[in-house]
Structure 1
Amino acid sequence: MRITSLGNAMMQLGRRDDALGWTIDGLKLALTKNRVSDAEVLNALQARVRGTH
């Protein structure tokens, strides 16, 4: 017996990514709703570019 779906359908991944701020639109929304600060975004970007994430 195979399980074909556990409720994480491909069609819903975009909505999830937006809600987590993993897309540009999601990140903009997180910034405007103060769920993440400008400094946190810049620090994360710097760490990613430097390879220290």
Structure 2
Amino acid sequence: MFKPKIKILNIYVILFIFLISVLIWQILKITGGEYNNLSVEERNYLKNKGK
């Protein structure tokens, strides 16, 4: 009876680690500039004129 609880716990730990790694990967993608598709002129316009 003790082994199934350990298996379920292992599945939860693996799932938790996977979700944390995906979250960290997405944060690094956003802060790394992968989503920054603006040209230099567009960035300067937004810096000077606002949103």
TM-score scaled by length of structure 2: 0.29
Task: Answer 1 or 2: which has greater helix percent.
Answer: 2
TM-score scaled by length of structure 1: 0.29
Structure whose CA Rg is larger: 2
